[in-house]
């Protein structure tokens, strides 16, 4: 944590403008861009949410979720990254996603910008809160600290280096955190398999639990075995659609220094994500074997199951000084997961207020120095809101992340794809899609899904489809884009073909 703050202080000297603070002057190299994108993506659900879900419910839901995320990661790098990098610079040198929407469609009234900024606030504050909550659980488990005190201390550290160093500090710390996360995953598997009596014992235990390894049935929170059929599989795979609308990931694409190096980034990012998620799910399976042999007590609720990695590390730490140091690496890995996402979310939420709402929508005149002060002040306010929302220690990291992921995926994803690839789309269609996607996420989650049956699917899928339909229908029913917009689209297409 101290090292992260030092990095923030070092990079604070490189922020000469708000553009540097929020997008790093578009000078990320391929390795940093790849790993910072994936580290900021793989939040606390990598070492808490995914292992916890695998431990409690079996392989079906978590397995299809991981497959969907792996596919989404690859496709996002393959079709969105390069084009967004080119397009965002060409249309007004946009430094935020709301900026890009507004510039792309020549929305001079900044309606798109304002709504997009509000969406970022609505979904990123609880997302950030889930990260703070994970930190609180970590230090409560490790040192027996009060959950609330631990959460606040962790939040202060994250705020400190993010406020100091901005986007470049967040990206470079993400790279370091991804290395720590990877090390923690490797250590957990080796230790867990050894303690469980070998790989054969782990798998034998998994096979002894009814349908635990099945990809077509799962267990509910109360232990009931239910079918996980075609519709459930499709809706779970829909997690991958969320990538097209994640502001903190899309910003990494916009910040890459050379569009022609994106292929390198794609290979690094895709490989790391597949391995990391596969190992995280396997850790949940190992955890069940450790419960069966009495090493770890049973973790019977979703909130408790998310502490499986903490429980494994705690047991490890009691063996010897050397083992305790290794356990410390595991705890640091969980902390790295959380910090790597929280810093990026804070920056995106801060930029939506200071750059998009204050300067873009309300036309507040600020000097460069004032803009930097406002950016940091807004970041602090958003962090405080996150702390308030994370006050309940029993909240589920996986469920909070799931809803926020759906919100961004449905609200921004269809707009990003049509803005990049359909020149007939216009600002009215983009506005309709954004509103439809955001509203449908809430309607489906809190109303339609309660009907059960075929309606009990992940809200991202129906909301995404409805938003896409709204964009197409409204764009075709309203005036075609101005020639200037079409010419810019064609220019981007031409640049994409250049090496």
pLDDT tens track for 137-176? 778 877 888 989 988 888 888 888 888 778 888 888 888 8
Tell whether the torsion through CA atoms of 375, 380, 381 and 382 is positive or negative.
positive
What structural domains does the chain harbor? 2-12+19-395 (1.20.1730.10)
Over residues 319-330, mean pLDDT: 82
Pairing of strands 225-227, 217-219: antiparallel
Question: What is the reported pLDDT for 44?
Answer: 67
55-64, 67-76, 369-378: least confidently modelled range: 369-378
Q: State percent of the chain over pLDDT 90.
A: 41
Question: What is the reported pLDDT for 476?
Answer: 97
pLDDT at residue 301 above 90?
no
Helices (H), 293-422: 302-305, 308-317, 321-351, 368-389, 397-421
Mean pLDDT of the chain: 87
Over residues 431-455, mean pLDDT: 92
254-268, 301-315, 437-451: least confidently modelled range: 301-315
Over residues 5-22, mean pLDDT: 78
- Mind giving me the DSSP string for 185-236? HHHHHHHHHHHTTSHHHHHHHHHHSTTTT-SSEEE-TTS-EEE--HHHHHHH
Q: Please tell me the pTM assigned to this model.
A: 0.88
Of residues 24 and 104, the one with the higher pLDDT is: 104
**Residues 240, 72 contacting (CB under 8 angstroms):** yes
18-32, 171-185, 299-313, 335-349: least confidently modelled range: 335-349
pLDDT at residue 398 above 60?
no
Among 294, 293, 328, 332, which Cα is nearest to 314's?
A: 328
pLDDT at residue 397 above 60?
no
Question: What is the reported pLDDT for 290?
Answer: 93
Over residues 22-46, mean pLDDT: 81
Question: What is the reported pLDDT for 475?
Answer: 98
Per residue in 414-431, pLDDT tens? 999 999 999 999 999 999
Element (H, E) at 278: helix 262-292
pLDDT at residue 43 above 70?
no
Over residues 358-382, mean pLDDT: 80
**Beta pairing partners, 256:** 28
Per residue in 103-120, pLDDT tens? 999 999 999 999 999 998
Question: What is the reported pLDDT for 359?
Answer: 82
41-55, 80-94, 262-276, 479-493: least confidently modelled range: 41-55
Task: Tokens 């009691």: give the residue.
Answer: 318
pLDDT at residue 13 above 80?
no
- Range picked from 16-20, 219-223, 290-294, 424-428 for highest mean pLDDT: 424-428
Per residue in 206-248, pLDDT tens? 999 989 999 998 887 677 888 888 888 998 999 999 999 998 8
Question: What is the reported pLDDT for 467?
Answer: 97
């Amino acid at each position: 944590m101290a090292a992260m703050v030092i990095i923030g202080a070092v990079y604070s000297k490189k922020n000469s403008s708000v553009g540097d603070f929020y997008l790093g002057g578009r000078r990320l190299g391929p390795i940093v861009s790849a790993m910072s994108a994936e580290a900021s993506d793989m939040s606390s659900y990598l070492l808490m949410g995914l292992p916890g879900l695998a431990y409690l419910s079996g392989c079906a839901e978590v397995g299809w979720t991981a497959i969907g995320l792996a596919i989404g990661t690859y496709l996002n790098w393959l079709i969105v990254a390069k084009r967004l990098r080119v397009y965002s610079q060409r249309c007004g040198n946009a430094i935020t996603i709301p900026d890009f929407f507004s510039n792309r469609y020549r929305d001079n009234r900044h309606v798109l910008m304002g709504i997009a900024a509000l969406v970022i606030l609505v979904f990123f504050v609880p997302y950030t809160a889930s990260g703070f909550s994970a930190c609180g659980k970590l230090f409560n488990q490790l040192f027996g600290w009060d959950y609330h005190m631990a959460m606040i201390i962790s939040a202060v550290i994250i705020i400190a280096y993010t406020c100091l160093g901005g986007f470049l500090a967040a990206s470079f710390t993400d790279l370091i955190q991804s290395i720590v996360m990877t090390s923690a995953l490797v250590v957990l598997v080796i230790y867990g398999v050894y303690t469980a009596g070998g790989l054969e014992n782990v798998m034998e235990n998994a096979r002894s639990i009814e349908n635990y390894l099945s990809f077509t049935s799962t267990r509910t929170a109360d232990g009931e075995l239910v079918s996980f059929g075609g519709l459930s599989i499709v809706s779970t795979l829909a997690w991958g659609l969320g990538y097209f609308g994640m502001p903190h990931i899309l910003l990494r694409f916009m910040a890459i220094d050379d569009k022609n190096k994106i292929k390198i980034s794609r290979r690094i990012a895709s490989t790391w994500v597949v391995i990391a998620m596969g190992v995280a799910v396997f850790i949940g399976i190992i955890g069940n074997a450790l419960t069966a042999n009495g090493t770890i007590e049973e973790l019977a609720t979703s909130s408790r199951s998310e502490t499986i990695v903490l429980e494994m590390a705690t047991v490890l730490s009691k063996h010897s000084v050397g083992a305790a140091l290794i356990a410390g690496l595991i705890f640091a890995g969980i902390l790295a997961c959380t910090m790597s996402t929280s810093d990026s979310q804070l920056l995106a939420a801060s930029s939506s207020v200071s750059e998009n709402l204050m300067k873009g929508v309300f036309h507040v005149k600020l000097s460069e120095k004032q803009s930097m002060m406002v950016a940091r002040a807004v970041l602090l306010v958003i962090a405080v809101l996150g702390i308030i929302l994370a006050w309940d220690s029993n909240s589920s990291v996986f469920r909070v992340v799931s809803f926020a992921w759906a919100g961004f995926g449905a609200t921004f994803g269809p707009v990003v794809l049509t803005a990049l690839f359909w020149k007939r789309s216009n600002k009215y269609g983009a506005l309709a899609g954004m509103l439809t996607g955001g509203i449908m996420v809430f309607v489906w989650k809190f109303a339609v899904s309660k009907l059960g049956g075929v309606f009990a699917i992940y809200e991202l899928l129906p909301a995404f489809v409805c938003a896409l339909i709204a964009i197409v229908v409204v764009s075709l029913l309203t005036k075609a884009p101005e020639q200037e917009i079409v010419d810019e689209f064609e220019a981007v297409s031409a640049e994409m073909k250049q090496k």
